[in-house]
Amino acid sequence: MGEYVRCEVTDGVGTITLARPPMNALDVATQEQLRSAAAWASASAEVRAVVVYGGRKVFAAGADIKEMAGMSYADMVARARDLSSAFDAVARIPKPVVAAINGYALGGGCELALACDWRVVAEDAKLGQPEITIGLIPGAGGTQRLPRLIGPARAKELIMSGRMVDAAEALRIGLADRVVPADEVYDAAVALVRPYVTGPALALRAAKQAVDEGLELSLPAALAWESQLFAGLFATADRAEGMAAFVEKRRPEFGRE
């Protein structure tokens, strides 16, 4: 996708890799390349699940503070929406997405991880939203996705203190889904999403939509949205195959719809 973000696909698993050493600082160029990578993962029929990876040393240590330090209020008014929407593009990939986290996932790096469906974290990793320590708040989804994931009280404490959490605490509070040795992070992330590669693509997409978009609605509206998605799947070949396989007591063979 560009100089700082690489994309590849192997056996149905697409990998989006940050490659801006030494710390994968998320400058404007990297943000836009992430947007393009998310579009690629969303559109490619070859990609059935996605791993977002920062490499063996660090996931992403945050925004490029040197770049941001030179921005004025007017500059950021013009840029803030694009910053947020670049991460939102990752959140809206209509396929299972897991973040594979080594080293640091701080600030924008933590926000990028929050945009994924799950987080596989190295035993020695550190996560957090330290923006308050430079007089800011998270600006790419941290104040919204973090409380939805771990609850408002815990999110406020992390955001307002700016402190980092280790892998054990991240797992305990729900910020991490699996903790593994550092050299196993990528493989564990692939293993987490591997079962979805042969799953019913449109049903998986609908499940993600139902949960993510339903959280933004009142319960009656969310239930109506669920019903609409549920009924729509009756038009798919995968639904017909899945039910036929159940009746015939065999494993379903889902296609690439």
What domains does the chain contain, in order, with CATH numbers? 5-197 (3.90.226.10), 200-247 (1.10.12.10)
Tokens, residue 200: 């019913």
d(CA 232, CA 202): 10
- 120: which strand partners? 100, 178
* Residue range 200-235, pLDDT digits in tens: 999 999 999 999 999 999 999 999 999 999 999 999
Classify strands 164-166 and 126-128 as parallel, antiparallel or unpaired: antiparallel
**Selected catalytic residue, list 131, 141, 210, 242:** 131
**Selected catalytic residue, list 38, 41, 63, 170:** 63
pLDDT of residue 64: 84
pLDDT of residue 256: 52
* Residue range 19-62, pLDDT digits in tens: 999 999 999 999 999 999 999 999 999 999 999 999 999 999 98
- Examine the residue annotation and report whether 221 is marked as an active-site residue of this protein: no
d(CA 70, CA 91): 28
**Selected catalytic residue, list 86, 111, 167, 242:** 111
**Selected catalytic residue, list 54, 55, 107, 108:** 108
Tell me the pLDDT of the chain averaged across its residues.
95
- Examine the residue annotation and report whether 63 is marked as an active-site residue of this protein: yes
> pTM to 2 decimals?
0.94
Amino acid (1-letter code) at residue 154 = R
- 240: which strand partners? none
- Residue 94: cis peptide before it, omega within 30 degrees of 0: no
d(CA 101, CA 119): 7
Q: What is the DSSP string of 116-158?
A: SSEEEEETT-EEE-GGGGGT----SSHHHHHHHHH-HHHHHHH
Considering only CA atoms, give the Rg of the chain.
19
Other beta carbons within 10 angstroms of residue 38's beta carbon come to 26
